[in-house]
Each structure stands twice: as structure tokens, then as C-alpha cells.
Structure 1
Amino acid sequence: MTSDTAGQPRWLAEFQELLLTTGTLQQFLQEAATRTVAAMAGVSCGITVRTTVEQYTIASSDAYASGIDQIQYHHGEGPCLDAITTGVIHPIPDLARETRWPRFTAAALARGVRSSLSLPVGGTDPVGAINLYARSPRAFAAGQRAQAIAFTSTITGAITLAIQLAQQQQLSADLLQALETRAVIDQAIGVLMARQRCTPAEALRILRRASQDRNVKLRAIAATIVTGISGTPPANARFHPR
């Protein structure tokens, strides 16, 4: 590895700059995968993230890596999935001698994989894994394996933070959508209160009953009522997070 004038590995400085300059999580992780293989020649890299319902490859250095990741998802077994589940690094020095994941092993060998290294992202509660695949056995022995671990440890914090920020952004978007939906429902409740001379609770029950009887979402029923009065579809209220 090359170093800058302060003795810091050049790839570390590049990743620090990358974290500051990339605009999205996807861009950052794609660049991370690409630069991983640039720093460790002869390997392919896939980055897996875990959601509450599935695992998927969010970025990869090439189609080869994402294809090997997909084999694990399809069969529900493999070093990547175990790394995420256990939080433990899973090296495979020689896939031809591996017995823990027979379906993954057979399919990966057929595609030329001979060794791999799966490293959990996120400490004791992993949010994903970085997967390195090589076409030669023992590609991650000794120095190169130590290099891979050090490299991954350096970017793990950044990846974890990026994923958490993306999840928070999604939560904020979901909240804003819920608030906008509620605003339309409140408008419809006001219309029904004036028409039916009823309380807010009674108006809401009318809306819910209509939604169930017609098998239509509550917001759609509310929007129809508001449109019938105003002549135009209701405008979503705009809520801006601080």
C-alpha cells in the first residue's frame, strides 16, 4: 500500500474524502466496492445490507460479485448470511474443501469461486456484510487477509452511519406521508361534521365504514369527499422537517 506524507495509507485518505464528497448512500457504497478491489487486486466485492424482511446487494464492484451474493440469498445459506447473523468474520480459504453450506458451495464453485472472505458490518448487531470473492484458493491468507480486515474495519463505521442515515430519511419520509394523509382525512371529517351535524369521532366512523364497505383506502374516501365539495382534489399539506 502507498502512503501519504503523514504516513497514512492513501486508500484511507481517499475514503475519508469519498465520505464527504459522494451525494448518496448508493454512490458511496458503489465507490467503496470499486475501491476495495482496486486496493486488493484479483478480488470482487459485494456489499450486502439487511432489512427486516430480506438481504440484498446494495453495491458491488462487478456483476460477478453480485451474482455470487444472489446465490446465497436464493439458497438461504452462505458465509455472507452467517456473517450478518453471527457478527463473526467468515473466511473460506478453499471453497473446494468447504462443507458448511453445500448448496451455496456447489453453485459458487461452478462459477469459479475458490476462496472468499465475508466481514460483518455493524459490530455486534450487523446491518450487512462486505463480501470478497476470489477465483484462486487461499487468496486471503496471511497479509492479504489482514489487509482486507483492516480495510473493512476502516469503512465499516462509515457504511453503518450511511445506512442508519438512509433509514432515518426513510422514517422521516414515511412520517411526512402519514401527516399529509391525516390532513386530507381531517378535511373530510370537517365536511361530514357540517353535513351530518355529527361529532369528529362519528365522522371518522363514517369514513372508516365507507372505506371497509367499498374496500378503498381511507385517504381515497376522504379525498373523494373533499373533491366533491371543492371541485378540485385536496392539496397535500406540506410539512417541512427541521
Structure 2
Amino acid sequence: MPALDDADRPDAVRSLSALIHTLTVQAGPTLGVDVQACCSAVVRGVDRWLAAGSVGAARCDGVQDRHRQGPRYELRRTGAPVVVPDLGTERRWPVWSHACRVQGFRSAAVVAGSRRDVTVHLALHAREPVVWDAALVDRAAGLAEGIASVVVVREELIALAEAVGDLLDGVRADGVVAEAVRVVMDLRGCDAPEARAFLTSATPARGS
């Protein structure tokens, strides 16, 4: 599952990515339960990895992707949160449950939260048994929705930055063309339309 590379993004985008990471890492204290979280998203139909509170949580979440089996995919299929009170007795997804037990987790849950065209899947892993009651699951879904809201804003900023970049490229290209027209006018002693026509005839068509 690919992650978005923010290395060349504007500072605001990197700040929002940091916020997503912080919300994921702090999921346990936020929810009032001792868990390690991993967060991924579907953005306009494309899977995106977002953040993880620990290497163990990331491994448990990622092991589902090879065969597309596990609680995250069950949630995507049914739309309902998935809770696993006891990983020791879980038999539906043996590869995933084994990976969780290897990392020392004994209980888990996966919830979703959506905002516009973004759906965030928040996986919670606990080293001690957890009572996943309706109130806790609802709070976790609310956190997932909050993260989805941040992802929406980040995606909008990325799109804006790319649009501005394309605009600036166009402006720079127009400047180059104008300079070329002036050079041809000087060399050939012609007017601007004739210089543009000369440049057009001398420039290979794209794709040729």
C-alpha cells in the first residue's frame, strides 16, 4: 500500500501529515485505552498508508494486504466495525491473528471514518484484553473521521500546489516563447506573427 511522499510538498502539507501521524500515535490516550494504532485510507478509490504508532502495529496491519484478508478488508466489505476481544481464539484470519500474537497483542479492533471522498481505517491493537463496547467503538470511529478530515484538507492542498506549479510552468514557458520570438524577429528582420510562424514550422510536433 503506497504512502504519499511529502518530501517536496509545501510546509502546510508536511504539517498536516505530521498531524495525521500524531493523531495515530496518540490514539490510545485519546480514546482512554492502552492501544497501538495503525492508520490507512482509501482516497478516491486508491489505497494509501498513512501512519502507525509502532512497528508492531504496522506489521499487523500490513500483513493483510498480501491476500487481502483480515479485519480491515472485512470492514471494507461489510461497512461494520470489527472487534476481536481475544486474538488467541480468533480463527477467521489465521495469518493476521498469528502476526498480532507474534507482536504481543491480545486484542484488536478496526473502525472506519469517512469525509467526502476519503475513508480512513483505524486499526487498534492492545497487549491486554479490551472491552470493545459501543461507546469505545464510537469514539474510535469519531477519531477515524477526524483523521479523514485532515486527509481531505491535505489532498486539497496537494492538488492546489500541483495546479499552481503547472500554472507557473506555463508562465515560464510563455516567457521562453516570447524571448524566442524576439530573437527570430531580430535575426530575420520580420514581425512577431512571422516569427511565431517560423518557430512553429521549425518545431517538431509532439509525438513525432
Using the size of structure 1 for normalisation, the TM-score is 0.61
CA drift at 1:73: 3.3
State the distance in 1 between where 2:126 and 2:100 align.
Answer: 11
| Alpha carbons of structure 1 residues 188 and 35: separation in structure 2 relative to 1, 3 Å | closer
What per-residue deviation string (whole Å, max 9, x for no partner) do you get for residues 117-149 of structure 1? 10012079652111111234xx343xx433422
Matches within 5 A, 1:42-81: 42-51=34-43, 52-56=45-49, 58-81=50-73
State the distance in 1 between where 2:171 and 2:163 align.
Answer: 12
State the distance in 2 between where 1:119 and 1:54 align.
Answer: 16
% identical aligned pairs: 18
2:63 partner letter: I
User: Which moves more between the two structures, 67-76 or 112-121?
Assistant: 67-76
Aligned match of 1:165: 153
- The structure where helix makes up a greater share of residues is 1
State the distance in 1 between where 2:22 and 2:155 align.
Answer: 20
| 2:20 equivalent to 1:32 | no
Name the structure, 1 or 2, with higher relative contact order (CA <8 Å, separation 6+): 2
1:162 partner letter: V
| 2:116 equivalent to 1:118 | no
How many equivalent pairs are there?
A: 183
Question: Is this contact kept in 2: 1:71–1:107, CA < 8 A?
Answer: yes
The one of 73, 83, 87 equivalent to 1:91 is: 83
- Name the Cα RMSD after superposition: 3.3
CA drift at 1:161: 1.7
State the distance in 1 between where 2:202 and 2:108 align.
Answer: 58
CA drift at 1:169: 0.1
CA drift at 1:37: 1.3
Question: Is this contact kept in 1: 2:115–2:149, CA < 8 A?
Answer: no
State the distance in 2 between where 1:133 and 1:204 align.
Answer: 65
Aligned match of 1:198: 196
| Alpha carbons of structure 1 residues 73 and 25: separation in structure 2 relative to 1, 3 Å | farther
2:16 partner letter: L
Question: Is this contact kept in 1: 2:75–2:82, CA < 8 A?
Answer: yes
- The structure where strand makes up a greater share of residues is 2
State the distance in 2 between where 1:131 and 1:83 align.
Answer: 11
Question: Is this contact kept in 2: 1:84–1:121, CA < 8 A?
Answer: no
1:206 partner letter: T
Question: Is this contact kept in 2: 1:75–1:103, CA < 8 A?
Answer: no
SS of the aligned residue for 2:166 comes to helix
State the distance in 1 between where 2:19 and 2:89 align.
Answer: 35
Using the size of structure 2 for normalisation, the TM-score is 0.69
Aligned match of 2:4: none
